[in-house]
Amino acid sequence: MIELTNDPIDVAAVLEVAKSPNAGAVVLFLGTVRGVTGDKHTEFLEYECHPEMAKSQLAELVGEAEAKWPLTGCVVVHRLGRQDVGETTVAIAVSSPHRKEAFQAGEWLIDRIKEVVPIWKKENYTNGTSDWVHPGE
């Protein structure tokens, strides 16, 4: 399952979709808005994307992960729009017969998503400044 949403991510639903009777492990990664980046205090983030391109790239990455590891389930949900400190921005859940492969696949997915998927993040700081962060940076 791949989803882009403006709504809060339902973590329980993400886990439920990833679960499988053939899985001995389900690994969940949640990306959240941190309050400090370097020496700047974050007020909120804004995420934008080209939806068709982002979904296509996410589907390609999920397919690659499924080819590399024996996954029984894989879910990626990325939130768009404004998000305040502490909110969940991305949820990745993968299931596999064994934990090692589930951990490896989850880590690989978040790293690749940040590198290649056309989702842009604008960090808005409490001092009134902001920075755009692009894929691969």
- Whether 36 and 119 have beta carbons less than 8 Å apart is answered as no
124: CATH: 3.90.1170.40
- What total number of domains does the chain contain? 1
Q: What is the pLDDT of residues 76-95, one digit of tens each?
A: 999 999 999 999 999 999 99
> What burial letters (b/e) apply to 106-132, b meaning 16+ CB within 10 Å?
bebbbebbbeebebbbebbbeeeeeee
Q: What is the mean pLDDT of each run of 10 residues along the chain (137 residues)?
A: 97 97 97 94 96 97 98 98 98 98 98 94 96 72
**In terms of residue numbers, what domain contains 29?**
2-133
Q: What pTM, to 2 d.p., does this model score?
A: 0.94
CA-to-CA distance for 25 and 120, rounded, in angstroms?
31
